[in-house]
Structure 1
Amino acid sequence: MDKKILLAEALKRRIISMELAPGAVVDEVALSEEFGLSRSPVRELLRQMAAEGYLELEANRATRVSSMSHQSLRNFFLAAPLIYISTTQLAAINATQIEIKQLKQIQQSFREAIDQGDIEGRVYFNNQFHLEIGRIADNPYLLPSLQRLLIDHARLGKIFYRSPTTEDMQEDLNTAVLQHEQIIQAIESHNAGEAGEIIRLHMDLSRRRMTEYVVPTGLDVPVSY
């Protein structure tokens, strides 16, 4: 595989897994050495990833991982249901059998990660599940917004999953698996209305749990979708 592609995948995974924390400096020289690339393609990639929302570029300042401020969290919880419902409904309209098969394979990996207690896998394959739905939706206006949302959704999920697994949390994980299955069924039957309702409930489950763990007291966050 192309070294630049390998670097892109590795850097994205480090960001959504929180290995590189929000606001952390990205060492361009170290990345060049690690992946055997010159500085020019690394800089080009960093600019591309900044456009996608993974990184922040400012003049006369080191490249940093995109931050997660109180305002950005509030914006996330406001925008997420709108984007997820729209893309999931469009996926139900547009999905082909080949695309549904790929979605089922991702779901199998998500289920296995939960069964094995694999926190990194849970976050990664949940991210891939919703990204695949966005690709199936096939809308050039919605996909960039979804991709930006997924960065913070993954990072919020990682903070949440890092907490000790309680009975309530395990119950929510089981519910998330079931809702993914129901989303797939709705997409496969091309039922956009049902797909939209299930993803709304799915996002409400995420919102309730994530806000318990990561939203500071006093931060105004939408309480229902």
Structure 2
Amino acid sequence: MIKKEKENPTQKETGAVRVYGVLRDEILTMKLAPGSAIDEVSLAERFTLSRSPIREALVRLSADGLVTMLPNRSTVVSPMNFSQIPEFLDALDLVQRVITRLAAMHRTEAQLIAIRKAEVAYEKALKICVKNGNSQGMIEKNYDYHMAIAEAAHNSYFTDVYRRLLEEGRRMLHLHFQFQTLDEHKTADQIGSDHSLITNAIEARDVELAEKYAHQHAAQFRGRFMQFLNRNLTSDVQINYP
């Protein structure tokens, strides 16, 4: 048994933050599969911590919707309900269109600068992602970009709904990106071109064009994700039947 030193509040907080960050990355990149059990004792040994900061980290992950704490005190990685994906994609499309339209209508100059900065950060993360295959940085910067647009929409109710949809869609985005990178001809500029169109429309205060590009962005994500679900990895396998 590993002996752990008594933790002061600062160490406890730092430990919980560290565990939260590591587990969050592993869940979002599917290293921890949906539905898999999470054992507090094993995590305490892995991070050389008591179970208290482990529980704190799991509570935060539960608030993010990434883990589910069951009545019997066990915890699992939140399952992905594929039967609800069409509903999710419909909601994402509608809310994204509304958010982007409102941003084009109400954005300030400071908010436009923030959107541009978030777009540049996303493009940098995307290039790194295409190069090394690790999608985590790209997923985070994609979230930041869309939330910068949401802030410019000036409607806290729509922003809260959009935030929830983007949070729930992170693992889908990882799967979607992994599928896109199977196409060796896809470049980072091609993958990220949608954002530039959206930002330009917001800058021009063209509400109709902003909504159009937001819809196209959601529709392309829908199409590519459904391609991922329908992919046939064995189509070229030849089997000789007797």
TM-score, normalising length: structure 1: 0.77
Task: Give the 3 Å change call, closer, same or farther, for CA 176–9 of structure 1 in structure 2.
Answer: same
Task: Give the 3 Å change call, closer, same or farther, for CA 33–130 of structure 1 in structure 2.
Answer: farther
Task: Give the 3 Å change call, closer, same or farther, for CA 160–99 of structure 1 in structure 2.
Answer: same
The one-letter amino acid paired with 1:112 is K
The one-letter amino acid paired with 2:62 is A
Between 1 and 2, higher relative CO (CA 8 Å, sep ≥ 6) is seen in: 1
Question: Residue in 2 aligned with 1:70?
Answer: 82
Q: Distance in 1 between matches of 2:103 and 2:43?
A: 36
Q: Summarize the alignment of residues 103-182 of structure 1 with structure 2, pairs less than 5 Å apart.
A: 103-116=115-128, 117=130, 118-119=132-133, 120=135, 121-163=137-179, 164-166=181-183, 170=186, 174-182=189-197
The one-letter amino acid paired with 2:65 is G
The one-letter amino acid paired with 1:207 is R
One of 183, 205, 208 as aligned partner of 2:220 = 205
Count of matched residue pairs: 215
Given that residues 56 and 63 in structure 1 are in contact (C-alpha distance below 8 angstroms), is that contact kept between their aligned partners in structure 2? yes
Task: Give the 3 Å change call, closer, same or farther, for CA 213–109 of structure 1 in structure 2.
Answer: same
Question: Residue in 2 aligned with 1:95?
Answer: 107
Q: Summarize the alignment of residues 190-201 of structure 1 with structure 2, pairs less than 5 Å apart.
A: 190-201=205-216
CA RMSD of aligned residues (A): 3.1
Given that residues 18 and 155 in structure 1 are in contact (C-alpha distance below 8 angstroms), is that contact kept between their aligned partners in structure 2? yes
Q: Percent identity over the alignment?
A: 27
Given that residues 37 and 76 in structure 2 are in contact (C-alpha distance below 8 angstroms), is that contact kept between their aligned partners in structure 1? yes
Question: Residue in 1 aligned with 2:236?
Answer: none
Q: Distance in 2 between matches of 1:26 and 1:36?
A: 16
Given that residues 65 and 168 in structure 2 are in contact (C-alpha distance below 8 angstroms), is that contact kept between their aligned partners in structure 1? no
CA displacement at 1:101 relative to structure 2: 2.7
TM-score, normalising length: structure 2: 0.72
CA displacement at 1:126 relative to structure 2: 2.1
1:105-145 deviations in Å (ceiling 9; x for gaps): 33223223443424413333223322332344343323333
Given that residues 186 and 192 in structure 1 are in contact (C-alpha distance below 8 angstroms), is that contact kept between their aligned partners in structure 2? yes
Task: Give the 3 Å change call, closer, same or farther, for CA 25–204 of structure 1 in structure 2.
Answer: same
SS of the aligned residue for 1:178 comes to: helix
Unpaired runs of at least 5, structure 2: 1-9, 233-242
Task: Give the 3 Å change call, closer, same or farther, for CA 106–73 of structure 1 in structure 2.
Answer: same
Q: Distance in 2 between matches of 1:74 and 1:216?
A: 17
Unpaired runs of at least 5, structure 1: 218-225
The structure with the larger Rg is 2
